[in-house]
Amino acid sequence: MPSVTMTVNGQQVTRDVEGRTLLTDFLRQDLALTGTHVGCDTSQCGACVVHVDGKSVKACTMLAVQAEGAEVTTIEGLAQNGELHPMQAAFKEHHGLQCGFCTPGMVMSAVDLVNTKGEASETEIRDWLEGNICRCTGYHNIVKAIQAGAKAMRS
């Protein structure tokens, strides 16, 4: 089995994995980071979005071995020193989540949106979320949360 080394939430990890192991399975099973969720098998739902070298990636579209040497951040790595990241706090304040299953992917995707685009209009936010499906919220409060989270991240 190939060996893979990467940095996950600031910690370097090395594991032997089957070549076909997806990054999602590696995070969930090998590292027990179960905040990254699997909601589909066609890379549509976005529940598994993590950051690889700072960019949002669907962890189900990537093999673990492809993340060799990469810096990976999962939802567990977003809050710092027990303080919610501004985007997490905005999701709570604006009721941007219900069942919580799509939430890690939504938040990770939203953080990348702000990092990439800075300010974004409602239309741009809705377009950006094309790869994240939520069945509970109707997106109304997710959009509000991202607008507020973006503002908080800039300040």
Partner 1 sequence: MPDTGIGASVRRKEDQRFLTGKGRYTDDLNRPGQVHAVFVRSPHAHATVASVNIAAAAAAPGVIAVLTGKDMEADGVGSLPCGWTVTDKHGEPHKAPDHFPLVRDKVRYVGDHVAVVLAESAIQAKDAAELVEVDYQMLPANVDPSKAMDGPLLHDNAPSNLCYDWELGDQAAVDEALSRAAHVTTVDLVNNRLIPNAIEPRAAIAEFDTGTDSYTLYSTSQNPHLLRLILCAFVLGIPESKLRVIAPDVGGGFGSKIYCYAEETVCTWAARKTGRPVKWTGERSESFLADAHGRDHMTRVQLGMDAEGKFVAMKVDTTANLGAYLSNFATCVPTYLYATLLAGQYTTPVIHCNVKAVFTNTAPVDAYRGAGRPEATYVIERVVEAAAREIGVDPAELRKRNFVPPDAFPYATPVALTYDSGQYALAMDKALELIDYAGFPARREASKAKGKLRGIGFSAYIEACGIAPSAVVGSLGAGVGLYESGQVRFNPTGTVSVFTGSHSHGQGHETTFSQLVSDTLGVPIENVEVVHGDTGSIPFGMGTYGSRSLAVGGSALSKACDKIIEKGKKIAAHLMEASVDDIEFDQGTFRVAGTDKEKAIGEIAFAAYVPHNYPEDLEPGLDETSFYDPLNFTYPAGTHVCELEIDPETGVIEIADWAAVDDFGKVVNPMIVEGQVHGGIAQGVGQAMLENCVYDADGQLLTGSYMDYCMPRADDLPSFKVETTETPCPHNPLGVKGCGEAGAIAAPAAFMNAVTDALGTEDIAMPASPEKVWRIAQAAQAAE
Q: Which of 129, 148, 149, 150 binds partner 1 (CB under 8 A)?
A: 129
> Which position among 132, 148, 149, 150 is part of the footprint of partner 1 (CB under 8 A)?
132
Q: How far is the CB of 54 from partner 1 (least distance, A)?
A: 18
Note the residue count of the chain: 155
Listed in order, strand segments (DSSP E) in the chain are 3-8, 11-16, 49-52, 55-58, 71-73
* Nearest-angstrom CA–CA distance, 21 and 119: 36
Told to check if 126 binds partner 1 by CB under 8 A, we report: yes
Binding map of partner 1 across residues 23-52, x = CB under 8 A, - = no contact: -----x----xxxxxxxxxx-xx-x-----
Residue 112: phi, psi to the nearest 5? -65, -35
In this structure, are strands 49-52 and 71-73 parallel, antiparallel, or unpaired? Answer: antiparallel
Q: Which residues bind partner 1 (CB under 8 A)?
A: 18, 20, 28, 33-42, 44-45, 47, 74-76, 78-79, 84, 88, 91-93, 95, 97-104, 107, 122-123, 125-127, 129-130, 132-144
